[in-house]
């Protein structure tokens, strides 16, 4: 048990006539878990010491399974958003006997003073809950569109915006961000991934696209070469539907334009349930071997481990939100012909099993003037599996733009 976990026992008087823990009691258990955690940490008076009171502004609870008298529930709490005067806390309750996920809750608080005016969140609280790991050098955090996004920026000149796939983060593009010369490289963690905020709700392709547009506004970047891998490609299509004038070049990597078939949509729902029940590790288990080419798995176990670790660290709300966003995405094939005049490069790993090369030949053929580059030996993640080749291919594409 960590310092942010508390075990509480369900009492009979908290249960309804059917013997289930009732909803009002659930709410008070969540609240009690928070106060117990404060009592063990910075102290129950962490708010009053600073003349601040955490007023609840919004609560979302998902009930996953019933709990009964005598069950011991382990409540884990984490800060998923830490603003100046507001913060969001995510709590989960699991039964200790079988590790079953019983409920998850998200609470949004605003700290107010005696006069009801917003006041800063006590520092001790964020420190105790260690809202998120410190940003590595070169990575900053920007609050846009209601969330705090982690973004890495390097270089000067025309901008290239890198959008990662699922369930990964901006480190997919580490080599390109470090070595692609002559341009400003911007790699972002989409909401729900990496070091960005992971709210419980509010995921969709339009939201991801709006986040990116707001990020570019905040960075004072007018237009970009947009480079998206897999889910990043789906986001790129949505961005083009909404902000076509901000894109002056396009790179679609290991992705597809069509929508999910019915059986894929059903599989997304199963993955959402798996993530909620068993966490990100279970998702990683089903994906690592499909993402990387057989040669990468054989010869580069360190990379396989790095990809697995990135997935395991992805917050469950981010995973579930992305799966729902991908499931609900529209067919982007009608957009392709309309991309005439937009310099476009389609890239695919030679051994990509998830979005195979044949689909990319068709994709490139449907976009007027698009070129296709096949990356030898790579699977679904060429920027990691063949980093130098991808950086070289991108450099050639950028220099062709003038």
Select the residue interacting with ligand MLT from 78, 112, 313, 354 (CB under 6 A). Answer: 354
Query: Strand 344-349 to strand 247-253: parallel, antiparallel, or no bridges (unpaired)?
Result: parallel
**178 vs 155: CA distance, rounded Å:** 9
Identify which of 205, 244, 206, 210 has the alpha carbon closest to the alpha carbon of residue 226.
244
Q: Which is nearer to ligand MLT, 54 or 165 (CB)?
A: 165
Q: Which is nearer to ligand MLT, 3 or 270 (CB)?
A: 270
Select the residue interacting with ligand MLT from 172, 326, 367, 370 (CB under 6 A). Answer: 326
Q: Contact between 193 and ligand MLT (CB under 6 A)?
A: no
Contact (Cβ atoms closer than 8 angstroms) between residue 27 and residue 48: no
Q: Which is nearer to ligand MLT, 46 or 187 (CB)?
A: 187
Q: Which is nearer to ligand MLT, 17 or 261 (CB)?
A: 261
Question: What is the per-residue binding string for ligand MLT in 230-269, x denoting contact by CB under 6 A?
Answer: xx--------------------------------------
Q: Which is nearer to ligand MLT, 166 or 208 (CB)?
A: 166
Q: Which is nearer to ligand MLT, 165 or 349 (CB)?
A: 165
Q: Render the burial of 163-189: b for 16+ CB within 10 Å, e for the rest.
A: bbbbbbbbbbbbbbbebbeebbbbbbb
Please calculate the CA angle 67-68-73 and round it to the nearest 5 degrees: 55
Minimum separation from the CB atom of position 287 to ligand MLT (A): 7
Please calculate the CA angle 32-106-84 and round it to the nearest 5 degrees: 95
Question: What is the per-residue binding string for ligand MLT in 46-85, x denoting contact by CB under 6 A?
Answer: ----------------------------------------
How far lies 339's CA from each of 253, 302, 333, 400, in Å? 16, 39, 11, 18
Select the residue interacting with ligand MLT from 54, 165, 199, 228 (CB under 6 A). Answer: 165
Backbone angles phi, psi at 247, to 5 degrees: -115, 120
Select the residue interacting with ligand MLT from 162, 166, 193, 397 (CB under 6 A). Answer: 166
Contact (Cβ atoms closer than 8 angstroms) between residue 389 and residue 383: no
Minimum separation from the CB atom of position 59 to ligand MLT (A): 31
List of residues contacting ligand MLT (CB under 6 A): 165-166, 230-231, 326, 354, 380
């Amino acid at each position: 048990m960590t310092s942010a976990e508390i075990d509480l026992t369900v009492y009979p008087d908290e249960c309804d006539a059917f013997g289930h823990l009732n909803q009002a009691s659930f709410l008070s258990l969540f609240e009690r878990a928070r106060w117990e955690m404060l009592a063990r940490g910075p102290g129950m008076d962490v708010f009053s010491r600073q003349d601040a009171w955490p007023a609840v502004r919004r609560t979302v609870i998902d009930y996953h399974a019933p709990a009964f008298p005598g069950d011991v529930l382990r409540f884990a709490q984490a800060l998923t958003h830490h603003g100046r005067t507001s913060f969001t806390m995510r709590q989960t309750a699991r039964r200790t006997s079988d590790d079953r996920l019983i409920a998850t809750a998200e609470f949004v608080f605003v700290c107010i003073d005696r006069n009801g005016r917003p006041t800063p969140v006590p520092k001790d609280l964020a420190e105790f809950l260690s809202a998120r790991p410190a940003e590595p050098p070169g990575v900053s955090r920007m609050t846009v569109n209601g969330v705090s996004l982690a973004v890495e920026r390097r270089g000067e000149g025309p901008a290239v915006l890198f959008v990662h796939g699922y369930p990964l983060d901006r480190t997919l593009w580490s080599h390109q961000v470090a070595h692609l010369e002559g341009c400003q490289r911007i790699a972002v963690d989409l909401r729900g991934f990496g070091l960005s905020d992971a709210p419980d709700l509010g995921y969709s392709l339009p939201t991801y696209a709006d986040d990116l547009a707001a990020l570019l506004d905040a960075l004072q970047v007018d237009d970009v070469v947009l480079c998206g891998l897999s889910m990043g490609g789906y986001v790129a299509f949505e961005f083009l539907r909404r902000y076509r004038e901000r894109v002056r070049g396009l790179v679609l990597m290991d992705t597809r334009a069509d929508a999910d078939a019915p059986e894929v949509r059903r599989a997304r729902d199963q993955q959402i349930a798996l993530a909620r029940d068993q966490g990100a590790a279970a998702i990683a288990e089903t994906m690592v071997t499909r993402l990387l080419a057989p040669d990468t798995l054989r010869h580069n176990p360190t990379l396989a481990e790095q990809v697995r670790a990135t997935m395991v660290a992805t917050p469950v709300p981010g995973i579930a939100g992305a799966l729902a966003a991908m499931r609900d995405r529209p067919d982007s094939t009608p957009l392709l012909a309309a991309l005439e005049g937009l310099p476009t490069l389609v890239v695919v790993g030679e051994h990509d099993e998830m979005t195979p090369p044949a689909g990319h030949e068709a994709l490139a053929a449907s976009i007027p003037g698009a070129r296709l580059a096949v990356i030898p030996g790579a699977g679904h993640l060429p920027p990691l599996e063949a980093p130098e080749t991808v950086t070289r291919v991108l450099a050639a594409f950028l220099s062709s733009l003038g």
